[in-house]
Structure 1
Amino acid sequence: MLYTGRALKRLRLLRGIKQSHVAELLGVTQATVSRWETGVLIPAEDQQAALEHLFAREDSTADAAIKRLVETSTARVHLICDHSHRLLAASPARRAEWRRDMLGTPMFRYASDDIQHAEATLQDLGWHEGETTSLVVETGPNGRYDVPIVAGRVLWERIPLADGAMGRLVTTLT
């Protein structure tokens, strides 16, 4: 996932990590982290991977009920971390579409162009501020065999998780 500066700052503050500590962990200067957060610089691909690993969170026991509901649903649905896009849970119908185990994997790399475009509009819609909490997204195919996405519509619903982070429930409508 390509973190926007604002998302990177939000995740860092949510985890209570100082810029200098992020810099130390990633082998960059504090000024570089500051430039990432203000959008002056974009982290390189290896730095993005390191950021994904740094901000990945473990499941909370308080979220066990929502995970169980997703994992036993008959709908084609999955739950991701709204910031890292890491897969938290998936229904059997959704898992059957994928040719590999995806739990814990950041999903954004599999997004179709339409999904990437919709993701880019979330800031303007006030998604991260809670002004918009659900959105129907038209999806085009992603052309992948391992984690295919077909043309259709999905419902994105933003839900709070027990640790203060936000989740995104993704349900296929068509």
Structure 2
Amino acid sequence: MILDLPVGRALHRFRRLNGIKQGHVAELFSVSQGTVSRWESGTHEPEIQHRERIFAMIAAKANNDADAALRRLVCGSTMAVHLVCDATHRLLAASPSRVAGWASHADDFIGRSLWPFASPEIVAAEAGLRDRGWFEQPGQRLRFHTGYNDSNVVVVRPSLMQWETVPLADGRIGRLTTTIE
């Protein structure tokens, strides 16, 4: 579920990349600047209604003309690759090789979070991103081994997986997920 994802560091990165001050975010959410600071530092998690609004604000869409080339590259790749919003894990594009084992076509998942299909290793890798400085700047890359996810809908098989952050035209961050082996 999307609400289980960490939101503070993603909000911090989105704010920095888009030149938005904490005070402005505080005004948008009717909270104090200190509350926004605690969200971003991870010392306090936003309440559910704030989390939903934060995810809506920072969610990447990659559905504009400026990101068309990136979507074509992903959708035309012969590798098992997909592009998700780095903050929400919503699917933005996927290659035919990636969706070959899925129970449905990629279009059925566009805009939906793939987080419910994460393997235990993917969940663990996500949990370690903050300590790696993942949300501090774009251009990050991580390789790790994953196992099965016990899903027949969106299948994850044991493999070496690579995550790379990709800046999108709207200032948000995508995550390119590639199966290496």
Q: TM-score, normalised by structure 1?
A: 0.79
Higher mean displacement: 43-52 or 89-98: 43-52
Q: Any unmatched runs of 5+ in structure 1?
A: none
Runs of 4+, deviation exceeding 6 Å: none
Instruction: Give 1:55's aligned amino acid.
Output: I
* Distance in 1 of aligned mates of 2:110 and 2:131: 30
Question: Aligned runs of 1:22-171 on 2, under 5 Å?
Answer: 22-24=28-30, 29-30=31-32, 32-45=35-48, 47-59=50-62, 60-100=64-104, 101-130=108-137, 133-171=140-178
Instruction: Give 2:14's aligned amino acid.
Output: L
Higher mean displacement: 145-154 or 70-79: 145-154
Query: Residue 9 of structure 2 contacts residue 135 of structure 2 at CA under 8 Å; is this kept in 1?
Result: no
* Offset, 1:47: 4.2
* Distance in 2 of aligned mates of 1:171 and 1:119: 15
Instruction: Give 1:7's aligned amino acid.
Output: A
* Offset, 1:91: 0.7
How many residues align? The count is 170
Return closer, same or farther for 1:45/1:138 CA change in 2, 3 Å cut-off. Answer: farther
* Distance in 2 of aligned mates of 1:158 and 1:36: 22
Alignment RMSD (CA, Å): 2.6
* Distance in 2 of aligned mates of 1:20 and 1:129: 20
- 1:53-80 Cα offsets, whole Å, 9 max, x none, are 2322332322111110111112111011
* Distance in 1 of aligned mates of 2:116 and 2:15: 22
Query: Residue 138 of structure 1 contacts residue 152 of structure 1 at CA under 8 Å; is this kept in 2?
Result: yes
Q: Any unmatched runs of 5+ in structure 2?
A: none
Return closer, same or farther for 1:19/1:143 CA change in 2, 3 Å cut-off. Answer: same
Instruction: Give 1:54's aligned amino acid.
Output: M
Instruction: Give 1:77's aligned amino acid.
Output: V
Give the secondary structure class of the aligned counterpart of 2:84: strand
* Offset, 1:32: 4.4
* Distance in 1 of aligned mates of 2:60 and 2:139: 24
Query: Residue 147 of structure 2 contacts residue 158 of structure 2 at CA under 8 Å; is this kept in 1?
Result: yes
* Offset, 1:112: 1.4
**Which residue number corresponds to residue 6 of structure 1?**
9
